[in-house]
Structure formats: C-alpha cells, structure tokens
C-alpha cells in the first residue's frame, strides 16, 4: 500500500485534462507511442467528438521513481455539471488531485466547484499551470489566482504543457512525493466503494471500485450494501488499457469486478461492496441515489416505431443507469416515453445516441423540471409531477414547489451589470460577490432550476461575450407562484407544449411562444390560429396565414423530374414533422420555448 497513489484530475472544461492524462499514460509507458490515439481515455465516439468526458474511467500506471516501483491509479472524472455526483464519487476514491488551470484563461467556475469537492474530501491538491507553450499564457496572474484560491506556496504550482510535455516529470514526482499513500486495513472487513460502472455486451456490467479495507478475491461471494444484493465475483482485476484479471485486489488499490450483472441499474455509483460471509456493518458514507433533474417526452416520429423506441431505450439504459423512462401518451403525439435526465447535456446525449446507435428519429418535447404539488384537500401530501400536463386542477391546488439551485458565475468585472440583469430576469437572487483578482469576479446566485433549462447558457454567453463560466448545484425546493400555460393550435390544445411558468411572466412568455411558433410552423392549406391560454383564458394569439397555392403548381405540371424532386424534398423536410389533427408540426416547434428571441 505504501507505494500506491490514487489521484484524479480536476479542471474546467477545455483546460487540458484529457491531453495531460494522455501524456502521463505515454510517459509511464502505459500506452505505447504507436497505440497513442488522441485522448485515449475518452473512448466513446460521442465523447471524443464533443471533447468532453461523459463517463469516468480509471487506469493504472506503473512508474519507477528513484529505484522504487510505484502504482499510480488515475481516476478520470466527467467534466460537466450534469454528472457532478459521479465526480464526487471519483474524488472520494482518491487521496490527491491534479488541479489543472489553463494559463491563458485562469480560474473558471468548474475549477472552483471541483476544487471545493476535492477539499471536502481532504485531497492533497497539486496545482498545475497548463498550456504554458501558448504565447498568450499569463503565468504570473494565473499563479496569483491559484495561490489566492488554495493558499499554497507559488513554488508549488507546476508549469506544464500537455502539448509539448513540459512539466510532466515534475507532475509525476509531485504525485509520488506530495500525495499520501492510501490508508486502510488489509486485514479488516472488505469495504470497497463503487465509483463507476460500464456495460460490456459480452460480459455484462463491469463495476469499478476503490478498496478501502480488506481484500476482494476472485470467487468471493460479495454483497452490494445499498441494494442488498449478492453476487459471485466471477472475475476481479485491475485496470490497465484493458482489463487485467488478478486473483485479488487489496486495500488501497483500484479494481474492477465482473459478476454476471446484466443491467446498470443494479450497480449504483457510491455503493459499498463487502463480503456476504463477513459483511462490514456500515456502508462507505456519501451514497446517494441520483435523481433525474430534467424531464421530457421522447416520441417516435413514425408512430409505428414505438416498440423499436422502447427496445432502444432499454438498451441505452443498460449502460446508463441515470436514464429513467416510463411510457406516456400524449393526445398530440401518441405513444412515447417520459424520460428523466441528469441535465440538459445528458438529454442531448441520449437523443443523439438514440439516433446514432439505434437509427431512431425521435421528437423530444419541451423539457421541464419536477415539481411538488400540494392540494387544498390534502395539504400534507406532496405529489411529484414530472409532466406539466399532469398538474392537478388549479382550483384544487394549494401551492407548488419548484427546485432551486445555487449558481456560480465567474466573469470579467465589466460584465457584472449585464449578468446581474440576466439573473434577475431569470428570477435569481444575488447572494455573494467576490473579486478573485482586480478584474475577475465570482457571483453567486440562487435561482430556479427551470430557468437554466430555458436558454440560460446561450444568453449568458452572449451577454458576457463568452467571458463567463457557470456551474451550479441543487439546493432543494421552494414555493413558487407557478401556473400552467397551454398552447392551442387550430383551437386544439397541444398537451406536449404545456409548460409551468411563473405568473409574473406568463403573458410575456405566452406572446413570445406564439410568435415563435408562427415562425416555425410552415404555412399550410388553411389558416391556423395559435393561442396561449391559462385555464379557459386566452392570453395571446397569432395566426399562420393559409398558403395560396399548391407548391407543385409552379412546376406547370409538365416537368416530371422537377416535380418529383420537389416532392422528395418535401418528404425529407417531413422527417421530423408530426401530424397533429390537421396540422403538420416540425420538431423545432416542440422546443420553441427554449429558443425564444
Ligand atoms: P479537457 O476538456 O480538459 O479534457 O481538455 P482537452 O484535453 O480536451 O483540451 C482542450 C483543448 O486544448 C484541445 O484542443 C487540446 O488540444 C488543447 N490543449 C490541451 N492542452 C494543451 C497545451 O498544453 N497546449 C496547447 N497549446 N493546447 C492544449
Ligand atoms: Mg476531456
């Protein structure tokens, strides 16, 4: 155990975590130069394309330092706020963290939120100033920021470049010299914490864990404490570039277990593995059942593809336990599923994976958060509502609660004004304002999560010209004056477009949604009224004028090939159209609320 070091890398997105991880793998010979493929750790296509790490992974490196062999376990963490629970578990599996800061950018929101997580778990922090090869690097100022933030000696900050390899040897030395070896009792009862799992189509679920105490052996009967289920440890081992089976994995080390588990749901990140025959009494602390934060309907474009969609979602769920779904039906869209996601990015990823990996064309409805409703008849009982159209009748409602978040924005001082007005417009309340340096400031807000779902990122980016980073975490539910706004198209209510909105901006929002829908829904053979309503009361109206002529009319009937082309083009355009009553509605219209001008 003395020669093991467990560490993670934390950084704001794009500060160079994956690149530096690759350099460490290369320098320690874990991966040969020939096999080196940019960003070896991000092995899902989608991750590589988007340049983000979605799932965390772990890898063991062997490194000889001053004549002594060391085992260095690098635990990679996802870099996006949607996956912050996974980040916290990965951090809990380590004794140290490399804190990477881009020397051209300085400290950003995720640098700070991840650092706080690491400090909560008493991790030894090794600050790294990355991208030193760039001429625009600003080492003095960024070093000051880091020193100010973590209270270290300026000499502790390691200048580095994932690109040129500068500083990599210093980083390896710091990992060995500064990060403490794991503590734990090899003779004690088995206690191993699961920090991640992956689905393998041939072997089932592979769970990754850090052994805190005891030893896990191949063939052991083990118990997952929080789910209470027992399994056979068919295979245990350590993680190299591939799985490397071993007879046992001992306290302090990081390993994997294969035990015939078929679905990701059974393996909960944060759960404790122990021996069935000699179980430890208390689970490792910090376990949480992750709850979806954002909900939306997913419907097949072709109604007869419902079963295929169900099959695809079940497959996706095998390797993504944070995806939840249940069947729902919509008067407008027919049969589909109400899905729960960790956040907006997670939602986009699921939609994209359905299309890429399963070749499904789907319609996603406006996302919403989940609400607690209290009725006047039974004010003690809270009802969880994940779909605005399921809201109890307003006359029977006592009050509604919605989820709130604490948000951190880091920006240049010149944008404070605009960002404050944006946050106030989004029903936020400024809680704190701290200057990190003369012209960089950290703003803390409390605001409703629902407002983040509705085009917050784009607005923030535009008011700050890109000079703002943002992070948040949930802080619980608060009472809000919310009402349901319905949308009627051609006098028919479109349930998929109903939304819960704050009473104070219902009129304005209703107007803007109608205008946007008018823009998005193509003109058809007849006039289509668009209305926004609260209960029976119409609060806004727009009209889509009827088309004068048939589109094919201008082909003079003669030119067949042109006519066919035009029809094919129309068909193409129809791909994401849904016929609702008499009206054809494109996918964008279902998301109109998110893209209001
Ligand atoms: P991550 O989001 O923290 O994993 O960041 P990546 O490792 O994906 O890097 C983000 C971008 O910065 C990529 O385009 C990298 O090629 C680039 N990058 C990373 N490290 C360096 C560096 O040290 N120098 C330079 N010039 N570019 C770098
Ligand atoms: Mg990355």
Confidence class of residue 55 from pLDDT cuts 50, 70 and 90?
Answer: very low
Of 25 and 131, more confident: 131
Does ligand 1 have an atom closer than 6 angstroms to the CB of 510?
no
Q: Tell me which of 188-192, 193-197, 214-218, 222-226 is least confident.
A: 193-197
Does ligand 1 have an atom closer than 6 angstroms to the CB of 130?
yes
Q: Tell me which of 28-42, 90-104, 386-400, 460-474 is least confident.
A: 28-42
Question: Quick one: 353 and 420 in the same domain?
Answer: no
CA distances from 360 to 302, 308, 344, 420, 575 (A): 9, 8, 20, 41, 11
Residue 11 lies in a domain: yes
pLDDT at residue 74, as a whole number? 95
Contact at 8 Å (CB) between 387 and 337?
Answer: no
Question: Quick one: 310 and 339 in the same domain?
Answer: yes
Question: Quick one: 233 and 377 in the same domain?
Answer: no
Name beta bridge partners: 538: 533
Q: Could you say which of 149, 178, 207 is where a domain stops?
A: 178
Question: Quick one: 397 and 463 in the same domain?
Answer: yes
Name beta bridge partners: 472: 407
Alpha helices in 98-253 (DSSP H): 109-120, 139-150, 168-178
CA distances from 63 to 24, 28, 55, 228 (A): 10, 6, 26, 38
Measured CA to CA, the distance from residue 259 to residue 204 in angstroms comes to 8
394-407: average pLDDT? 92
Q: Tell me which of 100-104, 223-227, 586-590 is least confident.
A: 586-590
Measured CA to CA, the distance from residue 12 to residue 77 in angstroms comes to 11
pLDDT in tens, 415-472: 999 999 999 989 999 999 999 888 889 999 999 999 888 778 878 888 888 788 888 8
Residue 541 lies in a domain: yes
Give which of 490, 488, 592 is closest to 531, Cα–Cα.
488
Number of domains in the chain: 5
Does ligand 1 have an atom closer than 6 angstroms to the CB of 19?
yes
Residue 289 lies in a domain: no
Distance of CA 490 to the CA centre of its chain: 37
- Residue bearing the CA closest to ligand 1, atom 17: 16
Confidence class of residue 231 from pLDDT cuts 50, 70 and 90?
Answer: very high
Q: Determine what percent of the chain is predicted with pLDDT higher than 70.
A: 90
| SS3 sequence of 49-69 | HHCCCCCCCEEEEEEEECCEE
Confidence class of residue 53 from pLDDT cuts 50, 70 and 90?
Answer: very low
Question: Quick one: 10 and 52 in the same domain?
Answer: yes
Which of 87-91, 92-96, 547-551 is most confident? 92-96
Question: Quick one: 10 and 147 in the same domain?
Answer: yes
Q: Which ligand is nearest to the CA of 22?
A: 1
pLDDT in tens, 21-46: 889 989 998 877 666 665 555 555 55
Contact at 8 Å (CB) between 58 and 52?
Answer: no
Contact at 8 Å (CB) between 209 and 194?
Answer: yes
Does ligand 1 have an atom closer than 6 angstroms to the CB of 78?
no
Question: Quick one: 93 and 165 in the same domain?
Answer: yes
Does ligand 1 have an atom closer than 6 angstroms to the CB of 12?
no
Question: Quick one: 94 and 139 in the same domain?
Answer: yes
Measured CA to CA, the distance from residue 146 to residue 453 in angstroms comes to 31
Contact at 8 Å (CB) between 141 and 436?
Answer: no
Which residues, in sequence order, are CB contacts of 562 under 8 Å at separation 6+?
A: 555
pLDDT at residue 316, as a whole number? 87
What is the distance in A from the centroid of ligand 2 to the CA of 41?
Answer: 8
Residue 552 lies in a domain: yes
Question: Quick one: 444 and 509 in the same domain?
Answer: no
Does ligand 1 have an atom closer than 6 angstroms to the CB of 50?
no
**Which residues fall in the annotated binding site for GTP?**
14-19, 130-133
Query: Residue 180 gets which letter from DSSP?
Result: P
DSSP string, 512-550: HHHHHHHHHSPP-SS-EEEEEEETTEEEEEEEEPPPSS-
Measured CA to CA, the distance from residue 516 to residue 413 in angstroms comes to 34
Give which of 442, 498, 566 is closest to 113, Cα–Cα.
442
What is the distance in A from the centroid of ligand 2 to the CA of 53?
Answer: 5
φ/ψ of 132, rounded to 5, equals: -65, -15
What is the distance in A from the centroid of ligand 1 to the CA of 228?
Answer: 42
Residue 126 lies in a domain: yes
**124-130 and 158-159 as β-strands: parallel, antiparallel, unpaired?**
parallel
Residue 183 lies in a domain: no
Residue 446 lies in a domain: yes
Which residues, in sequence order, are CB contacts of 560 under 8 Å at separation 6+?
A: none
The domain that holds 200 is classified in CATH as 2.40.30.10
Does ligand 1 have an atom closer than 6 angstroms to the CB of 104?
no
The domain that holds 351 is classified in CATH as 3.30.70.870
What is the distance in A from the centroid of ligand 2 to the CA of 478?
Answer: 35
Does ligand 1 have an atom closer than 6 angstroms to the CB of 161?
yes
Q: Could you say which of 154, 178, 202 is where a domain stops?
A: 178
- What's the predicted TM-score (pTM) here? 0.78
Question: Quick one: 475 and 489 in the same domain?
Answer: no
Give which of 169, 194, 185 is closest to 261, Cα–Cα.
194
Give which of 235, 252, 132 is closest to 183, Cα–Cα.
252
Give which of 409, 395, 396 is closest to 442, Cα–Cα.
409
Q: Give, as residue ranges, everything with CB less than 5 Å from ion ligand 2.
A: 18, 53
CB half-sphere exposure, 167, CA atoms < 13 A? 21
| Whether complex ipTM tops 0.90 | yes
Contact at 8 Å (CB) between 209 and 273?
Answer: yes
Contact at 8 Å (CB) between 57 and 47?
Answer: no
Q: Could you say which of 443, 462, 480 is where a domain stops?
A: 480
CA distances from 505 to 405, 481, 512 (A): 20, 11, 11
Contact at 8 Å (CB) between 422 and 455?
Answer: no
Question: Quick one: 355 and 387 in the same domain?
Answer: no
What is the distance in A from the centroid of ligand 2 to the CA of 507?
Answer: 42
Residue 280 lies in a domain: no
CB half-sphere exposure, 446, CA atoms < 13 A? 9
Pocket test for ligand 1, best of 9, 13, 14 (most atoms within 8 A of CB): 14
Measured CA to CA, the distance from residue 303 to residue 185 in angstroms comes to 58
**Structural domain for 244, as ranges:** 191-275
Question: Quick one: 418 and 301 in the same domain?
Answer: no
Measured CA to CA, the distance from residue 24 to residue 3 in angstroms comes to 18
**Closest atom, ligand 1, to C-alpha of 130:** 23
């Amino acid at each position: 155990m003395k020669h093991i070091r467990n560490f993670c890398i934390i950084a704001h997105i794009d500060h160079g975590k994956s690149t530096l991880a690759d350099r460490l793998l290369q320098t320690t010979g874990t991966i040969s130069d020939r096999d080196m493929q940019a960003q070896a750790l991000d092995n899902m296509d989608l991750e590589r394309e988007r340049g983000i790490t979605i799932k965390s992974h772990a890898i063991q490196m062997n490194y000889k330092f001053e004549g002594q062999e060391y085992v260095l376990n690098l635990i990679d963490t996802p870099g996006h706020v949607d996956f912050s629970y996974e980040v916290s578990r990965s951090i809990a599996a380590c004794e140290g963290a490399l804190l990477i800061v881009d020397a051209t950018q300085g400290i950003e929101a995720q640098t700070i939120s991840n650092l706080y997580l690491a400090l909560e778990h008493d991790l030894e922090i090794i600050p790294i100033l990355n991208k030193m090869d760039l001429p625009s690097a600003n080492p003095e100022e960024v070093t000051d920021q880091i020193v100010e933030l973590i209270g270290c000696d300026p000499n502790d900050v390691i200048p580095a470049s994932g690109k040129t390899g500068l500083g990599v040897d210093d980083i390896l030395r710091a990992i060995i010299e500064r990060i403490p070896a794991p503590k734990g009792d090899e003779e004690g009862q088995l206690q191993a914490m699961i920090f991640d799992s992956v689905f393998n189509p041939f072997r089932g679920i592979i769970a990754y864990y850090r052994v805190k105490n005891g030893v896990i052996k191949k063939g052991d009967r083990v118990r997952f404490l929080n789910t209470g289920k027992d399994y056979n440890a068919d295979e245990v081992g350590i993680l190299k570039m591939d799985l490397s089976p071993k007879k046992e994995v001992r306290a302090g080390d990081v390993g994997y277990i294969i035990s015939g588990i078929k679905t990701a749901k059974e393996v909960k990140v944060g759960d404790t593995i122990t021996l069935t025959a000699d179980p430890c009494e208390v689970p490792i602390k910090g376990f949480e059942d992750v709850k979806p934060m954002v909900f939306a309907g997913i419907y097949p474009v072709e109604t007869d593809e419902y079963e295929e969609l169900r099959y695809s979602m079940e497959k996706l769920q095998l390797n993504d336990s944070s995806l939840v779904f249940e069947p729902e039906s919509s008067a407008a869209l027919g049969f589909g599923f109400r899905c729960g996601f960790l956040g907006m990015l997670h939602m986009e990823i699921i939609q994209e994976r359905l299309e890429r990996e399963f070749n499904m064309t789907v319609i996603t409805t406006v996302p919403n958060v989940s609400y607690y409703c209290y009725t006047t008849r039974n004010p003690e009982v809270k009802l969880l509502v994940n779909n605005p159209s399921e809201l109890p009748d307003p006359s029977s409602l006592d009050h509604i609660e919605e989820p709130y978040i604490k948000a951190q924005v880091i920006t240049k001082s010149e944008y404070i004004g605009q960002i404050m007005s944006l946050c106030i417009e989004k029903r936020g309340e400024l809680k704190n304002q701290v200057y990190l340096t003369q012209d960089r400031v950290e703003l803390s807000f409390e605001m409703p999560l629902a407002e983040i779902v509705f085009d917050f990122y784009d607005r923030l980016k535009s008011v700050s010209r890109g000079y703002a980073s943002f992070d948040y975490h949930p802080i619980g539910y608060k009472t809000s004056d919310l009402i349901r706004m319905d949308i009627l198209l051609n006098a028919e209510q479109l349930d998929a477009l109903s939304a819960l909105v704050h009473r104070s901006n219902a009129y304005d929002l209703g107007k803007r949604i109608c205008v946007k829908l008018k823009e998005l829904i193509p003109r058809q053979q007849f006039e289509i009224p668009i209305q926004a309503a609260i209960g029976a009361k119409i609060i806004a109206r727009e009209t889509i004028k009827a088309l004068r002529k048939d589109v094919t009319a201008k082909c003079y009937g003669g030119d067949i090939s042109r006519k066919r082309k035009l029809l094919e083009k129309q068909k193409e355009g129809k791909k994401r159209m849904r016929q609702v009553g008499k009206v054809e509605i494109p996918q964008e219209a279902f998301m109109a609320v998110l893209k209001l001008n």
